[in-house]
Amino acid sequence: MGKQYSNIKPQPAKPGDQRKIDVYFKRLDASHQNPTNQLMHYFFVPLMVLGILGMAWAIPFPHIGFIGKYNGYFNWASFIIAFGIYYYLKMSPLLSYFALFLFFGLSYGIMQLELYEKTGGIELSVISVAILMVSLAGQYIGGKIEGNEKSFNDDTKLAHITPLWVFYKLTQRFGLRY
């Protein structure tokens, strides 16, 4: 059985072949031409990620015995971050590093919101849902400014890529190859 596959050789990439990430970025570029809409994405996409991570962070995480003293350091957002970084690393190493720094910063912000909740403030889950709703409203308004309903629809279909697209747009400004 192993012999029949031994003659199969990997095919080199053809000059016209595109990476999957390039296809995604072209779709997002095509529906995000307006500079105001792009500027709004620089603000509202990180807020969207903050809202999603905050909601996952707020879900109680079970105590796992073998983790020992590190039990307080893991939560459901940890898995989202780990999966996101792994997925982004496969797409673009440089952009995944930017995303990792974004996740660190947002995690710090969430920890501050947790402290605020513990001192009698609003619950993390409520703040996170509010942040997510504001960010989605900002995305929708950006689509309206774009004058293209496809802009908002592409954002919802490609929500997992949109944070990388924001970094891609920023790296383009500095002439970095992603």
Nearest to 116 by CA among 79, 108, 105: 108
**Residue 76 CA neighbour count, 13 Å, CB half:** 12
Helix, strand or coil for residue 12?
A: coil
Rounded CA-CA distance 122/176 in Å is 41
pLDDT of 7 over the 70 cut: no
Q: Are 138 and 45 in contact (CB under 8 A)?
A: no
Nearest to 127 by CA among 51, 76, 60, 53: 51
Helix, strand or coil for residue 30?
A: helix
The pLDDT tens digits of the residues spanning 39-98 come to 999 999 999 999 999 999 999 988 888 888 887 788 999 999 999 999 999 999 999 999
Nearest to 80 by CA among 160, 177, 174: 160
Structure tokens at 96: 């995944």
DSSP state of 174: T
Q: Residue 44: what residue type?
A: F
The pLDDT tens digits of the residues spanning 105-158 come to 999 999 999 999 999 999 999 999 999 999 999 988 988 888 876 666 666 678
**What pTM does this model have?**
0.83
